[in-house]
Structure 1
Amino acid sequence: MNLHQILNKLNNLKKIEEVRASQHYRKVAIAACFGTFLEWYDFLTFATLAVVLGPLFFPSNDPNTGLLASLATFGVGMVVRPIGSALFGSLGDRIGRKPVFMITIALMGLATVSVGFLPTYSQIGIWAPILLVGLRLMQGLSAGGEIGGSAVYLTEHAGNENRGFKTSFLQLMGPLGILVSTMQIAFLQQLLSPEEFQSWGWRVPFWISIPLLIIAIYIRKSLEETPIFLELTKQATKNESQLINNFRNPEIRNRMFLLFFCISSSGAILFFCVQVYTAIFLKTSVKLNPALIDQFSIFATLTLFPFTIFAGWLSDRIGRKPVVLSGIALGAIFVHPAFQLLQYLGSLYSEMPTNGSLVGIGVILTILSIALGLVVGPQTAILAELFPAKNRNSAATLPHNLAAGWIGGLLPLIVTWLNQVWGNSLAGLWYPISFLIGAGIISFLYLPETKQINLNH
Structure 2
Amino acid sequence: MPDMGDTAKHHKATRNEKLVIGASSLGTIFEWYDFYLYGLLATTISAQFFSGVNETTGFILALAAFAAGFAVRPFGAVVFGRIGDLVGRKYTFLVTMGIMGLSTFAVGLLPSYASIGVAAPILLVCLRLLQGLALGGQYGGAATYISEHAPDGKRGLYTSWLQTTATLGLFASLIIVIGIRTALGEDAFAAWGWRLPFLASALLLVVSLWIRMQLNESPVFQKMKAEGKTSKAPLTEAFGRWDNLKWVLVALFGAVAGQAVVWYAGQFYALFFLEKTLKVDGATTNILIAIALGIATPGFIFFGWLSDRIGRKPIILAGCAIAALAYFPLFQALTAAANPALARAQATAPVTVIADQDHCSVQFDPVGRNGFDRRSCDIAKAYLAKAGVSYANQPAPPGAAAQVRVGDEIVTAPQPGGMGDAQRKAAIAIFQDELGAVLADAGYPARADPEAIDKPLVVAILTALALLVTMVYGPIAALLVELFPSRIRYTSMSVPYHVGNGWFGGFLPTTAFAIVAATGNIYNGLWYPIVIAGATAIFGLFFLPETYRRNIDR
Q: TM-score, normalised by structure 2?
A: 0.72
Distance 1:408 1:133 in 2: 18
For 2:293, give the aligned amino acid: T
Partner of 2:274: 282
SS in 1 for 2:149: helix
Structure-to-structure mapping, 1:405-424, within 5 angstroms:
405-424=502-521
Q: Alpha carbons of 1:61 and 1:124: their partners in 2 closer, same or farther (altered >3 Å)? A: closer
Aligned to 2:288: 296
State the distance in 2 between where 1:431 and 1:136 align.
Answer: 24
Match of 1:208 in 2: 200
Larger helix proportion of the pair:
1
- Sort the Cα spacing of 1:346 and 1:46 in 2 relative to 1 into closer, same or farther, 3 A: closer
Conserved 8 A contact 1:40-1:177: yes
Where does 1:354-373 land on structure 2 (aligned, <5 Å)?
358-373=455-470
Distance 1:116 1:153 in 2: 32
Q: Determine whether 1:440 maps to 2:540.
A: no
- Deviation string, structure 1 residues 284-309 (Cα, Å, up to 9, x no partner): 44444555433331232123212111
- In 1, distance between residues paired with 2:332 and 2:20? 43
Pair 1:199–1:342, CA change in 2 (3 A): closer
Q: Which residue does 1:379 correspond to in 2?
A: 476
Aligned pair partner of 1:430 in 513, 524, 527:
527
**Residue 224 (structure 2) pairs with residue 232 (structure 1):** yes
Measure the CA separation in 2 of the matches of 1:46 and 1:346.
Answer: 24
Q: Aligned pair in 2 of structure 1 residues 126, 363: CA closer, same or farther (>3 Å)?
A: closer
CA contact (8 A) 2:229 2:487 kept: no
Deviation string 1:323-354 (CA, Å, 9 cap, x unpaired) is 22221222122122222332344454766999
SS at match of 2:495: helix
Using the alignment, how far apart are the partners of 2:548 and 2:483 within structure 1?
10
Matching residue's letter, 1:403? G
Give the corresponding residue for 2:309: 317
Aligned-partner SS, 2:148: helix
Deviating more after overlay: 358-367 vs 214-223: 358-367
Find the aligned partners of 1:314 and 1:254 in 2 and give their Cα distance. Answer: 27
Give 1:34-433 correspondences, 5 Å limit.
34-54=26-46, 56-57=48-49, 60=52, 62=54, 67-120=59-112, 128-192=120-184, 196-197=188-189, 200-237=192-229, 239-288=231-280, 290-348=282-340, 358-433=455-530
Which residue of the partner structure matches residue 547 of structure 2?
450
Q: State which drifts further: 311-320 or 106-115.
A: 106-115
8 Å Cα contact 1:304/1:370 also seen in 2: yes
2:85–2:231 CA contact under 8 A, matched in 1 = yes
Q: C-alpha separation between the residues in 1 aligned to 2:273 and 2:191?
A: 30
CA distance in 1 between partners of 2:190 and 2:285 (Å) = 23
Deviation at residue 100 of structure 1 after TM alignment? 0.3
Contact kept, 8 Å, 2:513 with 2:525, in 1: the verdict is: yes
Say if 2:24 and 2:211, in contact at 8 Å, map to a contact too.
Answer: no
- For residues 356 and 127 of structure 1, the distance between their equivalents in structure 2, rounded to whole angstroms, comes to 40
Closer, same or farther in 2 for the Cα pair 1:128/1:348, shift >3 Å?
A: closer
What secondary structure sits across from 1:147 in the alignment? helix
- Letter in structure 1 aligned against 2:312: R
State the one-letter code of the partner of 1:389. S
- Aligned equivalents of 1:379, 1:235: Cα separation in 2: 30
Distance 2:101 2:515 in 1: 36
1:31 to 18, 23, 37: 23
What code does the residue aligned with 1:376 have?
Answer: Y
Taking the aligned partners of 1:137 and 1:31, their CA distance within structure 2 comes to 27
Measured after TM superposition, the shift of residue 58 of structure 1 is 5.0
Helix, strand or coil for the counterpart of 1:424? coil
- What displacement does 1:125 show? 6.4
Deviation at 1:246, TM superposition (A): 1.5
Alpha-carbon distance in 2 for matches of 1:446, 1:259: 9
Amino acid at match of 2:318: S
For residues 114 and 354 of structure 1, the distance between their equivalents in structure 2, rounded to whole angstroms, comes to: 38
TM-score by length of 1: 0.87
Which letter does structure 1 place at the counterpart of 2:512? V
Name the aligned partner's letter for residue 44 of structure 1. Y
Q: CA separation of 1:411/1:127 partners in 2, compared to 1, >3 Å: closer, same or farther?
A: closer
Of the structure 1 ranges 281-290 and 336-345, higher mean CA displacement relative to structure 2 is found in 281-290
Superposition RMSD on alpha carbons, in Å?
Answer: 2.8
Q: Which runs of 5+ in 1 are unaligned?
A: 1-16
| Contact 1:285/1:343, CA 8 A, preserved across alignment | no
Secondary structure of 1:148's counterpart equals helix
- How big is the shift at 1:415? 2.1
- Which SS does the other structure have where 2:215 is aligned? coil
Q: Which residue type is aligned with residue 157 of structure 2?
A: F
CA displacement, residues 240-295 of structure 1 (integer Å, 9 cap, x when unaligned):
23123222222321211122123222221111111112233334444445554333
**8 Å Cα contact 2:174-2:290 kept in structure 1:** no
Q: Which moved more, 1:314-323 or 1:286-295?
A: 286-295
Q: Which structure's CA Rg is the greater one?
A: 2
Q: Is the 8 A contact 1:328 1:436 kept in 2?
A: yes
The residue type paired with residue 210 of structure 1 is: A
* Structure 2 gap segments, 5+ residues each: 1-10, 345-448
Q: Name the stretch that deviates more: 400-409 or 183-192.
A: 183-192
TM-superposed CA distance for 1:148, in Å, is: 2.6
Amino acid at match of 2:159: T
Which protein, 1 or 2, shows the higher relative CO under an 8 Å CA cutoff with sep ≥ 6? 2
CA distance in 2, matches of 1:364, 1:57: 32
Q: In the superposition, relative to structure 1, how do residues 214 and 328 fare at CA in structure 2: closer, same or farther (>3 Å)? A: same
